[in-house]
Every structure is written in structure tokens, then in C-alpha cells.
Structure 1
Amino acid sequence: MKKFWLLSVLLVLLVCTACKESGIAEVKISEVHPEKAVEIAASWASTASLVQAGGVYTEGEYKRFNYKGKTYRYMAGNVDTKKELRIELEKSVTKKVAKQFIKDQNFIKQKRRLAQVEADGGSLLQWSEATAKEVKSKKNKSVFEVSVPVGYTGSFDTFKVTYEYVRKSGWRISKLPEYKK
């Protein structure tokens, strides 16, 4: 029995050493690189635009109604509940930011579906063509200055974007982009 116990301990030590050398045992959070910061910000801009457009409607799904003197539209089926909407938002932002965004958008619930005031919107900002420069970094947080081309005007809008590492999800925006003058 003593030999078996000693053999077991040696085997565990050998496995631990092998894992450590291969990097499996070490949980390492790498820093967010400028390219990744731009990718996440562009994803967020695309998601925010999609939400403001009501989602991805299937044929015949777009429905409007009047409520308290305003024209509303139901959200598309892919984002017509808070849960579905939150899941979509949390692909690029933290849970806290997703909840705040939903609150700020003043959605209403009608016939068990989310709805929003009907409005046209759009942006000339080309987030996927942006450049980012890190201005501050801590253990699991980074702040970037992101310069975004405005259409084909040759000018740029600059935003301060804060990122946070979320366990099991990766880097997410933890403060929505703030326009810098």
C-alpha cells in the first residue's frame, strides 16, 4: 500500500510539472492589444447600430403601433426579449454596460416583446478602420484612445474606450465609448 501511495504522489507531481511547463496549469490573462481593442469597439458599434435599427427582421415581421402619442416598432425576433438582447450585447460589452444600455434605450414591453420608438439612425463612423492607442493599463483593465474615420472626409473622431477582462468571456468594453473633443 505504501508503494502504491508513493507511486501515486510521484505521478501527480509528474503531471503537475508537465502541465506547468506546457502552460496548461498557468492561467494567464494577456493584455488587450490595439488591434483587439479596435475589433471589440467595431463589434460594439455594429451591435449598437443593429439594436437601434430594431434587429434583423424577417419578411413580414416589422410591425408598428402607437403608444402615448409615439410610434413604436417591435424588435426583431432575434432581440425581442431582454435576455436575447443582453446576450447579443454581451458579445462586446460587460453585463453591467449591457443592462445600462438597455435601460438608456427606453424599451417598452408590449405583448411580451420589446419595442422601441421608431426612429431612423445611422453613422458615418468607420469603426472597423479605427486605430487605437493604449493610454492606461492595470491588471485586468485597459483604457484606449480610439481614432475613428468619419466617412471619407479624411477627418477622425476620437473616443476614450475602457476595456475589462471578463473571466470565461475575454475582453469586453466596460465603459461605453466617450467622445473626446
Structure 2
Amino acid sequence: MKKSVVIKSALIATTIFALAPLTACATLSPANATTSGTTPATTTQVSASVPQMDEKQIVNLVTQARDIFWKVQMAKTTQKAFEFKDIPYVYLNDEFSTKEKVIAAFEQVYTKEASHFYFDQAGFELYQDKVTLVEGDFGSLLDWEKATAVLSSERPSAKTYLLTVPLGETGEKQEVYVTVKLVPELGWRIVNSPNDIR
């Protein structure tokens, strides 16, 4: 009986390592710690070095991303800055008055590349050294908190999930692919443009 348990455990461990190399260390380290005499503190450090990312946590992450998107959008002041090609722009409040502040907000959940790309492509403009954004109100029916996620593909430092997101109370749903990348010392960050998650 003991021999059978050991063989099954080995097969399970091998399968986990083959499918998810990043999480294998965290999964297998307790067993290694027991056989090698490593202290529990060391085991905890190894596990903590690879942040977990699963179907529940991707939903939490995109919900955070949605909140940041709207926090920036709602930071528009009533003071008109200027018009460009008949399009009115407005200032953002002090919390997002510089490009660095806007980028830093998005980098809490997005990669550096995605944050900079979005700033350059989403209608932000610098006027008198302050950030302005196209004036206008728009919304979204996407209910990210109630989304369901399925792992679509996986690489050692990246995962793609297919999220099915309800459209408010309409009974309809929208599918969105979201890719996350493991950034050293920061954790998992979204690769998509912030415009995809709002």
C-alpha cells in the first residue's frame, strides 16, 4: 500500500511540474523541506517567491483593473483646458495631474508596456505640463466581479484566460481574453490595454 501511494504521489508531482513549472517549486517544496531538513521558514519563502494565479485571482485582478480605469476617467475636473480639432479636453485632478502619476496607477495591475501604450493611445494630452483627457461621459455594462474564467493557455511566465463577463442585467455576456505576465519582484501584471477592461 505504501509503495502504491509513493508512486501515485510521484506521478502527481511529475504532472504538476510538467504542466506548471512556475508553481512546481511552491507545490513540491514542502516535500523537499521534509526530506532535506529545511526549516518551515525557508519553505514559506520559496512558496512566496511564486505568486499564485488562478481562475479566482484573475477575476480579482481584472476587477482591480476596472476600478483603476474608472478612477482615472472620473478624475476629470470641470475646468476646460482647450479644444483641438473641435474636441474639448479637460484637466485631471491633482491625483493624476502628471503622466507619471497616471502611469503609476495603471502599473499597479498592468505591465509597464501596457500602461505606457495606453497613455499614448487613449487621448491623454499634456497641456501646460498637466494631463488632460477628452471630455465626455461614457460607461460600461461589463460586470467584471461576476465574470467566470477558464485557463486558455499557459507558459512559464504567462497565462491567458478566457473570461465570460455578464453585461449588466441584460442576460447577455461578453467573452474577453486576458493575458497576464509574471513580472519579477512585482507579481502578475495584465498585458492587455486598460481599454479592454473597463
- The TM-score normalised by the length of structure 1 is 0.78
Check whether the contact 1:94–1:173 (CA below 8 A) recurs between aligned residues. Answer: yes
Q: Shift in Å at residue 115 of structure 1? A: 0.3
Partner of 1:110: 127
Runs of 4+ with >2 A deviation: 16-22, 24-28, 49-53, 65-70, 175-179
* Counterpart selection for 1:146 from 156, 163, 183: 163
DSSP 3-state at the match of 2:120: helix
Q: Does 2:96 match 1:87?
A: no
* Counterpart selection for 1:99 from 94, 111, 116: 116
In structure 2, give the amino acid aligned to 1:63. Q
Check whether the contact 2:69–2:194 (CA below 8 A) recurs between aligned residues. Answer: no
Equivalents in 1 of 2:141, 2:152: separation in Å? 25
Partner of 1:168: 185
Q: Does 2:69 match 1:48?
A: yes
| Residues 1:46 and 1:156: Cα distance change in structure 2 (over 3 Å) | same
RMSD: 2.4
Q: Shift in Å at residue 39 of structure 1? A: 0.8
Query: 1:149-170 deviations in whole A, cap 9, x for unaligned?
Result: 1011121101000001112221
Q: Shift in Å at residue 24 of structure 1? A: 4.8
Q: Does 2:39 match 1:22?
A: no
* Counterpart selection for 2:172 from 140, 143, 155: 155
DSSP 3-state at the match of 1:175: coil
**Contiguous gaps of at least 5 residues in structure 2:** 1-35
Structure having the higher Rg:
1
* Counterpart selection for 1:64 from 48, 62, 80: 80
In structure 1, give the amino acid aligned to 2:79. K
| Residues 1:89 and 1:177: Cα distance change in structure 2 (over 3 Å) | closer
- The TM-score normalised by the length of structure 2 is 0.72
Query: 1:11-47 deviations in whole A, cap 9, x for unaligned?
Result: xxxxx96457731553642441111101111111222
